[in-house]
Structure 1
Amino acid sequence: MSALGSVQEPPPPILPAIVYDELRSYLRESGSTLSPSEALIKAVQQWIAKGRADAIPARGYQWKQLFLPEGSRLRMRNNDSWYTASIINDDLVYNGDAVSPNQMAKQVAGDGRNAWRDLWILLPGQRNWINAARLRAQLVRDAKKIPPTPAEAMTIAAKAMSDALSTALTLVAHANQQAQNTLERRLPKYRRSWDTLEDVD
């Protein structure tokens, strides 16, 4: 029976009563015709399907640091014409052949062209083309914003501590040398004869 019916279903034994009540309220407010049990079944099925989909390795073309997912398009302008290619499965396909970005740039305009500078990319789901070099720079910037893992953070902290200790030891050694030089200058053999005061009774 639906959530709108008069008979209440008991909460499933693994679901806390407060969560079950929240689900019933949501189904009622949203006008859903699903019962709480049906909604739970659907939610679990979708969760399993998403997990399976996420486990499938993403297809696409790896261009140095840049990953172009399947469905990405590339284009290059030469002599007032645009030449396009697509990422199909794991290949960059231009004129029916699997090529590298550099090979595409050479086929379009000959030697001496820089694929990073000359190719433009349209990622799946995007509306605007972006220059390959700019997309790579954006990727590098974004990677720097990702916080380090705990292991990386410990390595960074250990290096900082090591550098600080090394600097401190250098400063201590320098201070000791300065103190030694000052002491030696005050010894009698280094003092001028006229600089020595006579004792006056």
Structure 2
Amino acid sequence: MSVNLDTEVLLRLISQLQIRGGAQDLSSAINSAIELWMREQAKLSKGSDPASVRGYQWKTLFLPEGTELRSWSYGEYNYARVIGDEIIHKGKAVSPNQFAQSFARSTRNAWEDVRVRRPDDKQFKQASLLRQELAKQQAQPQTAVAAAPAALSESAILALLAALQVQTQAHAAAPATATPRNPSPGEGWDLPERRKFRYRLEDVAY
């Protein structure tokens, strides 16, 4: 099995892993990039083009068509739905803030008050939490994996990974080793005039 990868992109990925430090796992980085792309594609309707996807853009948070909005007020839930490019509540187009305020007698923060359930979500989630998750995702470096004529086999990828690990280890300074002691006697130590100053350690009195 072989994987078609652009050599330049792969080298940039290796360089990025070196900059980030930590565990240098090339396979995991490639898998993460592919999974990120697949998640983005899953958000789109089947057979649709990203440019033609409809929905409501709430600041940084995009609510695709079919998204449900829910607000709690005076013991009951109130609902709105994204239809086309608008949020519709009781037949009228409203903003998230207008929807949050429509049942309240006091000022409300729509990010904290409104719960959202997008078409692929299993349950409602607070809008502010979705915004925080999106900000974290955008802060993480994203590496694109592109197809190219050059084919890299699994063995070549493993070789590149091994070279990366060796290069990373080379940056760490090797601990200094102590110079071994030379037990041989110095020059002239065995001369007759010096032998009289030599004593055995057990003969020395303390």
Greater length-normalized contact order (CA 8 Å, ≥ 6 residues apart):
2
Q: Which has the larger radius of gyration?
A: 1
Please indicate the TM-score interval, normalised by the length of the shorter structure: 0.3 to 0.5
- The TM-score normalised by the length of structure 2 is 0.45
Q: Which has the higher helix share?
A: 1
